[in-house]
């Protein structure tokens, strides 16, 4: 890539980034740092993605209607909570100030053949996401493995009303891959619905980001990827973005993704 196009990609990736800290040892100081990191000299990230217990703190730091949205996770990372418990998690997170909910599907039940479990979970949590709160549904594609299963999970989540489909928790051996992304982007295209896509886990460089953006452009068009339709779930990616844009790196970000 030409230097100018690399910088252009870096700036776009920044605007699409859900800057993430889902490390097990995350604490209040880390959240304060993350909120600061999300506001760079080159613009803000789309969102921060954090544990539910830190949402109220982040909202206190960022204030109301901030350009940086607050995303949090439910049924995370196991995907095996009861629907009622996940709805309770979701409602509490929204009450604390979450703008976006990243939900893990019951992927083990789905692998075992229970398609209805996915539909029920996604539809119930979507119903709890009072507008303008958006729902991103994590398929855990590295565990589904089979492209046919990834496609089916994508189709089920889209039909149940999700706003985004997301590859991974970042907590398993295989996270985002271009192969899974291709299946998911094609599911979005076939659906004809305004559903977004979020690769998460393993997207660490501007070059990685460029590969996903190129794939999205090929399948859904050059202008399709915006913060309303495309996010990167990552922590380390910000450092590479800032290095490309300004020749310097950010303070070290957590390596949870």
Establish whether 145 is a catalytic residue. Answer: no
Sheet holding 69-74, edge to edge: 196-198, 164-166, 134-138, 100-104, 69-74, 47-50, 17-21, 232-234
Interatomic CA distance for residues 137 and 167, integer angstroms = 8
Nearest to 74, CA basis, from 216, 169, 203: 169
Rounded Cα–Cα distance for residues 137 and 231 (Å): 12
Residue 25 C-alpha from the chain's centroid: 20
The catalytic residue among 18, 102, 155, 208 is 102
Candidate list 18, 198, 208, 240, residue with the active-site label:
198
Quick check: is 102 catalytic?
yes
Of the candidates 136, 166, 208, 240, the residue annotated as catalytic is: 166
8 Å CB contact between 169 and 75: no
User: β-pairing, 47-50 with 43-44?
Assistant: unpaired
* Residue 222 falls in the annotated catalytic set: no
Retrieve residue 256's tokens.
Answer: 């949870």
Residues labelled catalytic: 102, 166, 198
């Amino acid at each position: 890539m030409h230097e100018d196009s690399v910088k252009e990609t870096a700036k776009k990736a920044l605007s699409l980034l859900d800057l993430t800290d889902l490390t097990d040892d995350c604490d209040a100081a880390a959240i304060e740092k993350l909120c600061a990191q999300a506001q760079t000299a080159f613009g803000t990230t789309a969102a921060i993605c954090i544990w539910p217990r830190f949402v109220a703190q982040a909202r206190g730091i960022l204030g109301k209607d901030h350009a940086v949205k607050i995303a949090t996770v439910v049924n995370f990372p196991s995907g095996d909570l009861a629907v009622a418990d996940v709805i309770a998690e979701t409602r509490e997170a929204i009450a604390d100030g979450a703008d976006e909910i990243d939900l893990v599907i019951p992927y083990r039940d789905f692998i075992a053949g229970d398609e209805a479990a996915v539909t029920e979970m996604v539809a119930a949590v979507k119903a709890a996401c009072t507008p303008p709160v958006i729902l991103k549904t994590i398929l855990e594609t590295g565990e589904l493995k089979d492209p046919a299963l990834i496609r089916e999970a994508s189709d089920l989540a889209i039909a149940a009303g999700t706003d985004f489909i997301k590859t991974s928790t970042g907590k398993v051996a295989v996270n985002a891959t271009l192969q899974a992304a291709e299946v998911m982007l094609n599911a979005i295209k076939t659906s004809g619905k305004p559903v977004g896509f979020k690769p998460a886990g393993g997207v660490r460089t501007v070059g990685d980001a460029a590969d996903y953006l190129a794939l999205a452009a090929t399948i859904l068009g050059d202008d399709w990827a915006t913060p309303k339709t495309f996010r990167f779930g990552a922590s380390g990616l910000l450092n590479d973005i800032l290095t490309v844009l300004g020749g310097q790196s950010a303070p070290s970000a957590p390596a949870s993704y």
